[in-house]
Amino acid sequence: MGGLFHRWRHPTQCYVICAVTRSGSHLLADGLRATRNAGRPKRFFYEQMEEKYGQRYGLDPGLDYAGYVRGIIAAASTANAVFGFKLMVLDVERLVTKLRQTGEFGLSNAPEVDLLRLAFPRLRFILLSRRDKLRQAISHARALQTGIWKVGNGAPTGEAKFDPNRIEFCLESASIQERIWSEFFARNNVEPLRLTYEELCRDYKGTMKAVLEFLHIRLPRKMVISDPTTVRQTDAITAEWEERYRALGTQLPVS
């Protein structure tokens, strides 16, 4: 819908959480969502989830992708006109390609960041990574085996067993993802807000305040940032696997 109504409904600000697997994106997104003033960030543009969100909001990403993007922004923005979403590395190229194919977000040869900013007004970028690469890989390896990516989301579909080859694969995967994000920001001359999982865990409320300041979001008076609701998955199994993997003497990537 065009005209004044469209401009009134259009969010004044968008942001994207650019994440690496098992870097705390659930923790960050859930915390922002809990403020009720920072959008409702989810992985709306993950191919396997678009149909789900399309059905929820009466949109058809297959027939009208531009309409899906605009519809998701309108539906998932908070009352203060803020929209947030998550992107993993594998989502980026596909999203840019889909935006380009619509012909509604700039010229067909426009740089990728220009397409993104036309689709998502005043887009700001948050890059989330993790310093402890081994624990990140262990978390990834366990999730691949159990199917549990967030505590409380369903029952395990498999049993987690120590597998150094799988852990090594996950270490390499994280390294590749970080490199791709680094190349994306360098290529597009973008400096994101850089956060780590460790910062979120060590000073959750302080880190959340820094994110809100970066996004220029002011919470209503008397509203405070609550304790995190997302449950950390680090436990005795993590510690055991870490000890066993280090005992193998395998060289770890530099944090």
Higher pLDDT, 146 or 40: 40
Buried b or exposed e, range 163-198, using 16+ CB within 10 angstroms: beebbbebbebbeebbeebeebbeeeebebbebbbb
* Cα gap 214→7, rounded to integer Å: 24
Three-point CA angle 226, 20, 167, nearest 5°: 110
CATH of 3-247, one of 1.10.287.1260, 3.40.50.1260, 1.10.3720.10, 3.40.50.300: 3.40.50.300
- For 215-230, what is the mean pLDDT? 86
Three-point CA angle 127, 132, 137, nearest 5°: 90
Three-point CA angle 108, 104, 68, nearest 5°: 125
Higher pLDDT, 96 or 224: 96
Reported as a pLDDT band with limits 50, 70 and 90, residue 235 is: confident
Reported as a pLDDT band with limits 50, 70 and 90, residue 156 is: low
In single-letter form, the type of residue at position 192 comes to P
Distances in Å between the Cα of 2 and the Cα atoms of 61, 82, 89, 229 are 20, 20, 33, 39
**Residue 57 DSSP label:** H
% of residues, the chain, pLDDT over 90: 75
Return mean pLDDT, the chain.
Answer: 89
Q: Is 116 helix (H, G, I), strand (E, B) or coil?
A: helix
What digits encode the pLDDT tens for the residues 202-215? 999 999 999 999 99
